[in-house]
A = this chain, B = another copy of it.
Amino acid sequence: MKHDTTPNRYVPGEAVLGPEAQKRIDRRGRAMGPAYRLSYARPVHFVRGEGVWLYDVDGEAYLDFYNNVASLGHCHPRVVDAMTRQAATLCTNTRYLHDAIIEYAELLTGLVPIPRGQAIFTCSGSEANDLACRIARHATGGDGFIVTEYAYHGTSHLVAGLSPNLGPSVPLHPNVRTVPAPAAARTAGDVGEMFKQHVTAAAEDLLRHGIRPAALLVDSLFSSDGIYADPPGFLSGAVDAIRDAGGLFIADEVQPGFARTGDAMWGFERHGVIPDIATLGKPMGNGYPMAGLVAHADVVDGFGETSRYFNTFAGNSVAAANGLAVLDVLQDEGLMANAKSVGGYLKDCLRSLGARRLGEVRGAGLFLGVEVVADRDAGTPDRAAARHLVNGLRDRKILISSTGKHDNVLKIRPPLIATEEHVDRFMDAFVELLDEKAEPAHES
């Protein structure tokens, strides 16, 4: 497949699979077509999940250090119970009054530190980012967007065109400008100042083309650019810059949000900035399809008054019950503190490795990136070695993936319930794999 930039993908014909797996993949291809990708050189077939574990069709347990949706652990019983009870009682939409969605919106706007915040619910993070951009256009009268050069913001036409990560086959819109992610190691000097200058220049370039800036849209952990979290505060100059240019700051919290960074509920809080709109998704329902945004009332006002927003499923009574259960579990199980301590432990373990192939260890809480390089000093990205490690861990029954422009950054994102024992198990396998002499087996 030409131009395929999908990280960690199965490549048909590359590995020899068992006849059952091959048969499933063939049936899948016939019924679901070529747009779907599978993960890993040898795709995995799961049939059960519980806590940090996924079980494959042969009953083998995999340690899930990757999936961000089941952030409270797979099949969390309190969330499943809340969903079931509500689904058996009433599942209906926001055109009727219902207490759970009001209560959930009140809690959520209380948790997002945007003054006079208002919540709007969607089904997916893509829909949340798409709606945020629609609102930003309305609020600013502008139509220009600035994103980072390997950003991913979703699959709708509008946000796919704001997602360079999708590769050259999916064109960026003409009114989009990209800026390098704030990558400290590759920036001589102040990374925040550099990022600000890039955003300022991008806004000027938009204006030079007669396009008024509507927003700077960034994932607050730069998840797809390669995971950049430090130094804290590096976003503030860029936020000033986009506002000076008349645009809004939209924080895409779909991946970093809901306590994952350990220090705060949202990734942007690390940088001491307040977005105009924060978009939310993946772990919001621990698996139930739900997402949304919180925006300053002044930002929503004009849009909301003239442009109704109705989303058939979003904010329905089951989504609300689900979302409330997730917030309860986050609080009752102390998962933000756990993300901080276990994430800190994992980061220390990773940094203590002296492996020649590993570069920077980055990230916050339980969202870490490890650069895989051909040469530690030069920092040359090594995509093939990263692919080898991801698949080597998969063969040792541990799930992670890779990310970044060069697809050479290991993306490690355990559930928020992970313990130091789980980290130890991960590290044992990782060290074993690093110590192997084997050459990279899979080229992407």
Partner among B46, B49, B97, B124 whose Cβ is within 8 Å of the Cβ of A43: B97
Q: How far is the CA of A77 from the CA of B83 in the complex (A)?
A: 14
Q: Chain B interface: which of A128-136, A186-194, A203-211, A377-385?
A: A128-136
Q: Are the C-beta atoms of B21 and A314 separated by less than 8 Å?
A: no
* Residues from 302 to 347 in A contacting B, C-beta threshold 8 Å: 303-316, 318-319
Contact string against B for A residues 210-253, beta-carbon threshold 8 Å, 1 for contact and 0 otherwise: 00000000000000000000000000000000000000000000
Q: Are the C-beta atoms of A127 and B120 separated by less than 8 Å?
A: no
The number of chain A residues touching the other chain, given as a range, is: 35 or more
Partner among B3, B119, B169, B312 whose Cβ is within 8 Å of the Cβ of A32: B119
Q: Are the C-beta atoms of B290 and A289 separated by less than 8 Å?
A: yes
* Minimum C-beta distance from A418 to chain B (A): 17
Give the oligomeric copy count: 2
Q: Are the C-beta atoms of B156 and A309 separated by less than 8 Å?
A: no
Q: What residues of chain B lie closer than 8 Å to A95, measured between beta carbons?
A: 37-39
Contact string against B for A residues 400-412, beta-carbon threshold 8 Å, 1 for contact and 0 otherwise: 0000000000000
Q: How far is the CA of A305 from the CA of B169 in the complex (A)?
A: 10
* Minimum C-beta distance from A170 to chain B (A): 5
- Indicate whether A307 sits within 8 Å of B169 (C-beta atoms), given known contacts A33-B120, A312-B124, A312-B282: yes
Q: What residues of chain B lie closer than 8 Å to A33, measured between beta carbons?
A: 118-120, 295, 297, 300-301, 304
* Minimum C-beta distance from A276 to chain B (A): 14
* Residues from 79 to 106 in A contacting B, C-beta threshold 8 Å: 80, 83-84, 87-99, 101-102, 105-106
Q: Are the C-beta atoms of A133 and B157 separated by less than 8 Å?
A: yes
Q: Are the C-beta atoms of A287 and B91 separated by less than 8 Å?
A: yes
Q: Chain B interface: which of A23-31, A256-264, A357-365, A432-440?
A: A23-31
Q: Is the interface of A mostly helix, strand, loop or mixed?
A: mixed
Q: Are the C-beta atoms of B300 and A46 separated by less than 8 Å?
A: no
Asked if A47 CB lies within 8 Å of chain B CBs, one says: yes
Closest to A107 in B: B31
CB-defined A-B contacts under 8 Å, sample of 15: A27-B102, A28-B97, A33-B118, A33-B300, A34-B300, A34-B304, A35-B309, A36-B120, A75-B88, A75-B89, A80-B87, A83-B84, A83-B87, A160-B307, A289-B319
